[in-house]
Amino acid sequence: MSVLVENLTVRYGDLVAVDNVSFEAPTGSVTVILGPNGAGKTSTIEVCEGFRTGQGHVRVLGLDPAKQHRELTNRMGVMLQGGGVYPSARVKDVIRHFCALHGKGANATELIHLVGLGARSKSTWRRLSGGEQQRLSLALALAAKPEIIFLDEPTSGVDIDGRDVIRDIILGLSQEGTTVLLASHDMAEAEKVATHAVFFREGKILASGDMKSLASARKRLRFTSTPGLVTAELAVAVKSPITVISEGLYEVASEPTPQLMTRISQWLADNQHPLLGVDMGTENLEETYRRFTRSPQ
Amino acid sequence: MKRIAIQLRAELMLLARNGEQLLLTFVIPILLLSFFGSVEVLPSGDVEPIQFLVPGVIAVAIMSSAMVSLGIATGFERSYLVLKRLGATPLTRGQLVVSKILSVFCVQIVQVAALLALGLFLGWEPAGNQWPLAIAAVLGGTSAFAGIGLVLAGRLRAEINLAAQNGLYLLLLLLGGMVIPRDSLPSAASTAAQVLPSTALADLLRTTLNGDSGALLVPGTVLCAWAILAPAIAAKRFRWS
């Protein structure tokens, strides 16, 4: 297990930013940390990076990130949410600098080309676009040849081509056995690379696990019928809660089975409502995120 | 040592790319020396103004570039998250502090040489003949002021750091006998000012460069203490983020 977080609490004065959370990130996994702004994602990641301390038990690559920070820096890469480079620094200079500091033989020229900045190697940080700055940040994190890499919003402000580059790099790292911990708001991108997910809200973890187990809990059935159905009666008939998604669109929070379909069809027929459409499947990550972050805790 | 050399190279490269900051570092002391060396407005007593000014302005230049310029630049590095990113590399706090101080030493070599040359041009007559001690004082002063600048920059937010560096600079400048003779201050303030690094540096430079009569032991001990303690505290207390 590359990351082990047990009963972590982080306080800023009276504010409890992270409230007794626990999760794990297996070696070689891509664990995506999701949640609204202020949910505690960055604080948790900063504790794992060793930049912040909290109460609880945290181990990264078997090391205490606060007490063994220097040892950890030899084995981890960090991509910050923004900034981190002096505005007048040139791309090739800053990548060379970080490769030299880590001293693990990462080749600066290869890294520049890996993140697609070959044509911009003489540009200064301030002259790069937002997406190019993100790719440079990723290159700096890779200079460590890391066993674990922390990525905070890696695709924020990045165009489609840049996203492809970053996604390929993340998937490549995972295949080589590097553990990736990724905080993101970009659900579509996260879904493409994640093997595990952790959902944060108001400093607590609402759900966590591998994508398959989370997906099995994300099965649902939606159907379209007359607007304004008496959902309370329908819920009793189908023995599952019913949610109105939008006008005439309903969701049954239950695994779609022939028996469930039969009960719904029967109730609609008995009450003389049409069945206009049916959608059975699995929530995408964004739908799951919305369900977790909007539902009462 | 290797990481210090790597970081020093990066610091010097950044300095070279920040031309405006470097220009300010060089131009202000040169203007000070040129102006006050030509116009008799300072209460330098029986001493020729240029004799009083050369060691004082060198001390001001050291304080400006080692404390204020370095401190403010480092504060901005914090707000740009440059320090946080460096904190994720194997570079230690101590190595960062040492490389920053060494980068200021490199600037000082050129700066002090330029000021001495300008002083000679304006009629300054060196008399101390204690160049090794003068060089030691320059090195000690740089270490002390860089340490003080980094203590502030290593703990404070960029905006507060900016105000603190400038406020402290003004205080040390006025009390340190760099451009205003300490005899002009109230006696209590003059006595208390002896423990300031600015006073110690100015006194040492006047004794070693001008041959002024003055004890070397007290200012030497004071500057030595600041030169060791300030960087040590900076390295210990420095925050990456």
Side chain identity at B69, as an amino acid letter?
Answer: S
Q: Which residues make Cβ contacts (< 8 Å) with residue B198, sequence separation at least 6?
A: B59, B63, B172, B173, B175, B176, B177, B178
Q: Give the residue from B34, B208, B43, B182 showing the smallest Cα distance to B118.
A: B34
ipTM beyond cut 0.85? no
Contact A42, A183 (CB under 8 A): yes
Give chain B positions within 8 Å (CB) of A61: none
pLDDT of residue B226: 96
Contact A132, A117 (CB under 8 A): yes
Q: pLDDT tens, A60-110?
A: 999 999 999 989 999 999 998 777 898 888 999 999 999 999 988 789 999
pLDDT of residue B126: 84
Q: Which two tokens stand for residue A117?
A: 């900045």
The listed range with the strongest mean pLDDT (A6-10, A187-191, A254-258, B127-131) is A6-10
Q: Do B82 and A83 touch (CB under 8 A)?
A: yes
Q: Do A87 and B80 touch (CB under 8 A)?
A: yes
Answer whether CATH 2.60.40 is correct for domain A218-294: no
Q: pLDDT tens, A126-172?
A: 999 888 898 999 999 999 899 999 998 888 878 888 888 889 999 99
Give chain A positions within 8 Å (CB) of B92: 70
Closest-approach residue (CA) in chain B for A126: B80
Lowest mean pLDDT, pick from A185-194, B41-50, B153-162: B41-50
Q: Do B89 and A70 touch (CB under 8 A)?
A: no
% of chain B beyond a pLDDT of 70: 96
What is the distance between the alpha carbons of residues A256 and A241, in angstroms, rounded to a whole number? 13
Q: pLDDT tens, B6-29?
A: 999 999 988 888 777 777 778 888
Assign domain A3-210 to its CATH architecture: 3-Layer(aba) Sandwich (3.40)
What is the distance between the alpha carbons of residues A49 and A70, in angstroms, rounded to a whole number? 11
* Chain A contacts to B (CB-CB under 8 A): 46, 49, 51, 70, 73-74, 76-78, 80, 82-90, 93, 97-98, 100-103, 124, 140, 144
Q: Which residues make Cβ contacts (< 8 Å) with residue A42, sequence separation at least 6?
A: A81, A152, A183
Residue range A13-32: mean pLDDT, rounded: 92
Interface test with B, best of A78, A79, A97, A123 (most B CBs within 10 A): A97
pLDDT of residue B41: 67
Which among A74, A93, A140 has CB closest to B13? A93
Cα angle A169, A94, A32 (rounded to 5 degrees) comes to: 30
Q: Do B6 and A70 touch (CB under 8 A)?
A: no
What is the distance between the alpha carbons of residues A143 and A114, in angstroms, rounded to a whole number? 11
pLDDT of residue B123: 87
How many interchain CB pairs under 8 A, A with B?
68
What is the distance between the alpha carbons of residues B225 and B220, in angstroms, rounded to a whole number? 9
Closest-approach residue (CA) in chain B for A145: B89
pLDDT of residue A112: 94
What is the distance between the alpha carbons of residues A46 and A40, in angstroms, rounded to a whole number? 10
Residue range B46-63: mean pLDDT, rounded: 84
DSSP string for residues in A189-242 = HHHHH-SEEEEEETTEEEEEEEHHHHHHTTEEEEEE--TT--HHHHHHHHTS-E
- Domain(s) of CATH 3.30.70: residues in chain A: 218-294
Backbone angles phi, psi at A188, to 5 degrees: -60, -45
Q: Do B88 and A100 touch (CB under 8 A)?
A: no
User: Where residue B51 falls among pLDDT bands split at 50, 70, 90?
Assistant: confident
Residue B50, pLDDT > 90, answer no
A40, A58, B80, B82, B241 from A46: Cα distances, Å: 10, 11, 17, 15, 10
pLDDT of residue A17: 92
Q: Which two tokens stand for residue A228?
A: 């304004």
> What is the distance of C-alpha B32 from the center of its chain?
15
What is the distance between the alpha carbons of residues B66 and B80, in angstroms, rounded to a whole number? 21
Domains: count for chain B: 1
Contact B173, B179 (CB under 8 A): yes
What is the distance between the alpha carbons of residues B12 and B102, in angstroms, rounded to a whole number? 9
- Residue A296, Cβ density class (10 Å: 0-12 exposed, 13-18 middle, ≥19 buried): exposed
Residues 47-106 of B with CB under 8 A from A: 77, 80-82, 84-92
What is the distance between the alpha carbons of residues B239 and B154, in angstroms, rounded to a whole number? 5
Which among B2, B80, B89 has CB closest to A98? B89
pLDDT of residue A216: 62
User: Where residue B144 falls among pLDDT bands split at 50, 70, 90?
Assistant: very high
pLDDT of residue A163: 87
Is residue B21 less than 8 Å (CB to CB) from chain A? no
% of chain B beyond a pLDDT of 90: 40
Q: Do A102 and B89 touch (CB under 8 A)?
A: yes
Residue A8, pLDDT > 90, answer yes
The listed range with the strongest mean pLDDT (A207-211, A242-246, B47-51, B146-150) is B146-150
Residue range B58-81: mean pLDDT, rounded: 90
User: Where residue B151 falls among pLDDT bands split at 50, 70, 90?
Assistant: very high
Is residue B3 less than 8 Å (CB to CB) from chain A? yes
Q: Which range marks the domain in which residue B161 is found?
A: 2-237
Which among A78, A85, A87 has CB closest to B88? A78
Which among A51, A82, A102 has CB closest to B240? A51
Q: Do B92 and A70 touch (CB under 8 A)?
A: yes
Residue range B82-98: mean pLDDT, rounded: 92
User: Where residue A210 falls among pLDDT bands split at 50, 70, 90?
Assistant: confident
